[in-house]
């Protein structure tokens, strides 16, 4: 399929690699960041560099908008395509409707559910690709492209995708922050940074196999008030972490009552 990419960040970078490997043609790239655009075009020698969002002269079947969430609406107000071109954004948090200002396009969403770093290779086959479209024909075209690069393609509508993004904030963004706090606490006690890795791995593996609420461990779920009190004391120089400790412990205790009363 002939594809144009709007955006040249991490998502565009990894998507273009996977699409190329599946024999799709990236025919053009648009990005406001010159550095990213040059870097991406270096890996796509056959692609044209676009200087405007008027794509009506371009022979493409699919336009993928892989720009920061906050910029999608702006791109949509400027983008012009040939009638019937499929235009999809790659965002987890934005509804398909954010693209509605694009005239004559067949709208969709093409959301790879993974966190990308530019120079770290990604096995796209294992990345869930969530698609959505305005109509069945568009859905089938997006699904075909998705299945050519990933084994895990799901149709997920805007409402469910929004909830998925919220769930991902808890499971990934917030988890990463807790791992950062943990690392900081280890450093303060001159303990090796990697000391908790086996425990973290086991925690995540166990949580994947069970309902995490039913395998909760630690002082909060045991209502071990002595330890809870000591931990809050130990966090006195970190008032933000102290507050988090209290809220998370309280939520664990609430949830365990819920889970046991079920």
Is residue 219 a contact residue for a second copy (CB under 8 A)? yes
Q: Are 152 and 128 in contact (CB under 8 A)?
A: yes
Query: If binding is defined by CB under 8 A, does position 147 make contact with a second copy?
Result: no
Residue 47 DSSP symbol: P
Q: Residue 180 to residues 17, 28, 78, 153, 187: CA-CA distances in angstroms?
A: 31, 39, 40, 32, 11
How many whole angstroms separate alpha carbon 89 and alpha carbon 38? 21
| 218 is an interface residue for a second copy by CB under 8 A | yes
Q: Which of 126, 140, 158, 229 binds a second copy (CB under 8 A)?
A: 126
**Kind of pairing, strands 62-65 and 48-49?**
unpaired
Per CB under 8 A, the list member of 54, 135, 158, 197 interacting with a second copy is 197
User: Closest approach of Cβ 152 to a second copy, in Å?
Assistant: 8
Which residue, 51 or 260, is less far from a second copy as judged by CB? 260
Site for a second copy (CB under 8 A): which residue of 5, 127, 131, 146? Answer: 127
Eight-class DSSP state of 80: B
Among 21, 46, 144, 169, binds a second copy (CB under 8 A): 169
Is residue 117 within the footprint of a second copy (CB under 8 A)? yes
Q: How far apart are CA 224 and CA 229, in angstroms?
A: 9
- The single residue among 42, 121, 198, 236 that binds a second copy, judged by CB under 8 A, is 198
Q: Which of 52, 77, 83, 226 binds a second copy (CB under 8 A)?
A: 226
Q: How far apart are CA 84 and CA 66, in angstroms?
A: 20
SS3 state at 185? helix
* Binding window for a second copy (CB under 8 A); candidates: 13-21, 33-41, 133-141, 197-205: 197-205
Could you tell me how many residues of this chain bind a second copy (CB under 8 A)?
Answer: 90
What residues pair up with 80 in beta bridges, in sequence order?
A: 54
- Considering only 36, 156, 257, 262, the residue that binds a second copy (CB under 8 A) is 156
Residue 174 contacts a second copy per CB under 8 A = yes
Q: Where are the alpha helices (DSSP H) in the chain?
A: 10-21, 34-43, 72-78, 136-149, 158-168, 175-188, 197-209, 225-234, 239-261
Per-residue binding string, a second copy, 58-87, x by CB under 8 A, is: ----------xxx-----------------
Taking the alpha carbons of 88, 91, 94, 95 in that order, is the dihedral positive or negative?
positive
To a second copy, the closest distance from the beta carbon of 22 in angstroms equals: 19
């Amino acid at each position: 399929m002939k594809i144009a990419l709007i955006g040249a960040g991490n998502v565009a970078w990894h998507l273009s690699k996977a699409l190329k490997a599946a024999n799709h043609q990236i025919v053009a790239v648009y990005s406001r960041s010159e550095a990213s655009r040059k870097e991406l075009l270096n890996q796509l020698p056959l692609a044209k560099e676009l200087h405007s969002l008027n794509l009506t002269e371009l022979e493409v079947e699919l336009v993928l908008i892989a720009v920061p969430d906050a910029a999608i609406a702006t791109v949509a107000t400027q983008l012009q395509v040939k009638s019937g071109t499929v235009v999809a954004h790659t965002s987890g948090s934005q509804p398909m409707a954010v693209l509605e200002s694009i005239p004559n396009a067949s709208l969709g969403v093409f959301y790879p559910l993974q966190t990308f770093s530019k120079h770290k290779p990604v096995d796209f086959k294992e990345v869930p690709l969530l698609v959505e479209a305005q109509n069945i024909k568009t859905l089938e075209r997006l699904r075909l492209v998705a299945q050519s690069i990933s084994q895990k393609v799901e149709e997920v509508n805007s409402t469910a995708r929004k909830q998925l993004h919220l769930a991902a904030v808890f499971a990934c963004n917030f988890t990463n922050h807790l791992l950062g706090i943990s690392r900081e606490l280890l450093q303060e006690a001159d303990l090796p940074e990697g000391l908790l890795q086996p425990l973290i791995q086991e925690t995540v593996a166990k949580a994947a196999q069970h309902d995490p609420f039913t395998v909760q461990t630690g002082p909060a779920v045991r209502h071990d008030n002595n330890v809870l009190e000591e931990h809050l004391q130990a966090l006195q120089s970190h008032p933000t972490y102290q507050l988090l400790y209290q809220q998370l412990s309280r939520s664990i205790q609430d949830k365990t009552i819920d889970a046991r009363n079920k």
